[in-house]
Every structure is written in structure tokens, then in C-alpha cells.
Structure 1
Amino acid sequence: MDLSTLPLVGPLLHGGADLVAALTAALSPVAGSFAAAIAVVLLTLAVRAVLVPLSVLQVRAERDRRRLAPQLAALRKRHGKNAEQLQRAVQRLYTNEKVSPLAGCLPVLAQAPVLSLVYALFTHASIGGTANALLEATLVGVPLGHSLIVTLTSPLWVHAWVVVLLLAVLAVVVELSRRANLRWNPLPTPEPGAHVPGAAATAAIGRFAPFITVVFAAIAPLAAALYVVTSAAWAAGERAVLRRVIR
């Protein structure tokens, strides 16, 4: 089944393909073979710029959660043995303080459709019955539609260093962001001698979950990996600035 023929998906894919193709054509005289990759980066930057207001809400939500940390700690101490009562009490606190626990997810949720579009643009051989010209675009010899796995198992494996380098940059950005988040929002310290069920598992998930984006970038088309790396770098810099501005 060709998703590009569906009533809603088709126009989005056509519009996205036309936009990336137009950007690539405009950049080609100065960027040459890098034009398509730069077009994806510019598209990512444009999306992130539009989402700045949501990022502001995200940082404000962080600030509010930090302000409420002592009250949350008291609720955990009071209702720690009853998860249902604790959940209701926390929800009541957030409601009374007019704090949204979902505000921190807004930028990620808002980007999901765009990332899905980029992914689809570079995985469809044809769009609406027409050959997808975007699949001919490359970055240092690697087609933007190839993932790391595909590149390693193809005759182009000698160019796999390009994708590996991108993934390494992404891993560094993810780790720096994780450490910055811990400094800004330190995890609650359990009382001496207290046993918190599932604490070890929660800590392990918190340590490694951010790197899921690196795994995704490794199996996604190179264009989608470019989007993820650019977005992650923007988010890290943007949050560092907003955290100093919003007090």
C-alpha cells in the first residue's frame, strides 16, 4: 500500500517533498552536493524556531516543579505506601498551583509529525506514483535515505563514518543534556535507610532512556538522523539560555 495516495498523508508528503526540493534547488549553486542535507537542517531549525514558545512553557514547568519539590517530597512521605492516594494528592497539588505535568512534553509531541514526515519522505521510493527524487540526494556519498545499517551492509560501507560521526555527536549532546537536566532538576534523595520499591530500575531507565534517540537515529534514514541531531543540539542550547532567563 502506497501511503502517499491516502487522502491526508498524500498532500503532506507532496508538500514536504516540494518544500525540501525547492530548498535544495535554491541551495545547490552554493552548497553543491550538500544542498539536500543543508535543506533538512534548515527545515529543522525553522521548526525549532516556531516551537520556541512551547520550549518557554517547558522551562516554566520545570521551574514550577522545582518550586513545588518540597511539597511533593512531603506528599511522597505521607502517601508513599499508597500509590493511588499519592497520585491523587500530586494531581491536586498541580491543579491548585495551575501547573501542567505535561508541559515538558510539548516540544517533543509537536515535533513528532514533522519528524515522521521527514522519515516518510526519505523512505518512499515514489510519492503519488512519481519517483522520489529526494532519494538521489547524498551526504559525503551516503544517500539520505540510507540508515547506518543499510550503509554498513552495502558497497557504500566505506562512507559509514559519516553516519557514525553524526551518531557520536548526538550521543554527546544527549549525555550533556541529561547531565544538565540532573543539575537543574535533581532527583529526590531518599531518606537514610528508606527502601523505595523500583528505585534501582527507575534510576537505570533515567540513565539510559535518553539514548533511545541515538538508537532511532541509527536505524532511521540519514535525513531523519540529521533532523534528530540538529534538533537535539538546538534544544540543548535553547534550554541552557531559557533556564538562565526564566527564573
Structure 2
Amino acid sequence: MSDKIYDLGAGFWNIQGSFRLGGIINIGTQCSLIRLPSGSFVFLDSYTLTDDARSQVMALTDDGQKVEAVLNVHPFHTVHCAQMAKDFPQATFYGSERHHKQVPTVQWSDDLVESKAVAMRYPELEFSVPKGIHYISPNEKVHAGSLLVYHPVSQSLHVDDTFMSPPSKLLKAVLPELLLHPTTKKALKNDADAGQQYCDWATQLAHQWRDTRHFCAAHSSMVNFEIGGFEQALLTAINKARPKLEQA
């Protein structure tokens, strides 16, 4: 399956790529490209661009020279970081502590991607780290934590794993439009109110980013919402999960 790039308007492009679990099952992955008011670009996530998607990105970014930064927003998404650094050597690379340890060949910025310093550097974007769950879980198989990024101008939300959508049209017919990552319960911190913290955070986020039109998620398909649709879908998912998470 070839990579696909989607122009979501207002300087936001989402790129849906391939990632094969165990080298066999393609569960997909993503990155997003954002044009800043300055004319420079930033990537959300690293991905090895190929074919037409790569050609389009290079045409947009003056053969990559206008890419000023790559924000790696999921601590466990590290496979493509080294190649991305080779493709865009002039860019500043931001990541979590785990990125620094897992891919030491990349010249990482001292500022962690989830830091206030990065948020202040990019006021065009809004960032949120989930409360109540581990951002970097001590269990390597638990990937519910990530840094979520919202681009208000295009009404696009980029999220890896924390929230998901059904990966196929068939599943969309029988499942809600938004799902919580299946490891969310295992990702809860060892606090008595961790489940409540998480659910309250997600509820507040649903209201704060209620204008989301384009929901871009890793390992699942994109969802295009009407205004208010994202809010309702996320609230439905949280309300369904709250009893189990708060009793964990």
C-alpha cells in the first residue's frame, strides 16, 4: 500500500503510511506536516516518506529546506526517527526522554517535545499530555500515553494511540467513531484517583477542542467530524469507560 497525503486545508497535511506488525500485518502509521505563518514547516511524528507523498512534501518544502523542526509526539514511535533525520538534516528534532535513549544517533534538542519551551515556541499549536496515565509507561507494551497536538486554524487533531478510530469501514458500522486505546487501563498511574484524573482530562479536552473537524490517528482511519461531533464522540467514549477506569 502506497503512502497517501491528505490536504486538510489552512496549511495542514496528514500523511497516512505503512507499518507492518511483525513484518506482516499492516496496521498503518502517520505523520503530519504543518505550514507555519512564517512560511517554514514542522512535522508531527517521523515517517520515512516514499513515492508521491514524498514528492509532494519535497515540492511544498523547497526540497525539505523549509522544514525547521520534527516533533516526535509518541514516546514509543521511534522506528522512523533516524531516517527522518537523514532526510531533513537541517531540522531541529524534538522527542521524549525515550526517543533520546532509543535513537541516540539523532541529534536531539535538549528541550523535550512535551516541554513548555516547545509549546511556547509554537503558539500556532495546542498541546496536551494525558493526566492519570503514564506518558512513558514502564511496560513497553503499553502505548496509551502520547502528546496530543491540535492545530486550531485547520481544526485538525493529530493523536497517536491515546484515542483511536475504527480502522476499517466495516468496523465503523458497528463501533463508535472514537475509541480509547485498549491499554488505557494498564497505563493508569498508581494513584487512587488516576482513573478519575484521566477521564476528567479527556472530558475537558472534548470541550476545549470541540471544533475539531479532522481527527488524524495512528493505526486507524481518519475521521471527519461536523462541528461538535468530536466532542460528542469523545464524551461518549469516556462516559462508557469511566466506571471501569475509576474502579481500577
Answer with 1 or 2: which has the greater Rg: 1
Greater RCO, 1 or 2 (C-alpha within 8 Å, sep 6+): 1
The verdict on a shared fold, with TM-score over 0.5 as the criterion, is: no
**TM-score computed with the length of structure 1 as normaliser:** 0.27
More strand by share: 2
More helix by share: 1
**TM-score computed with the length of structure 2 as normaliser:** 0.27
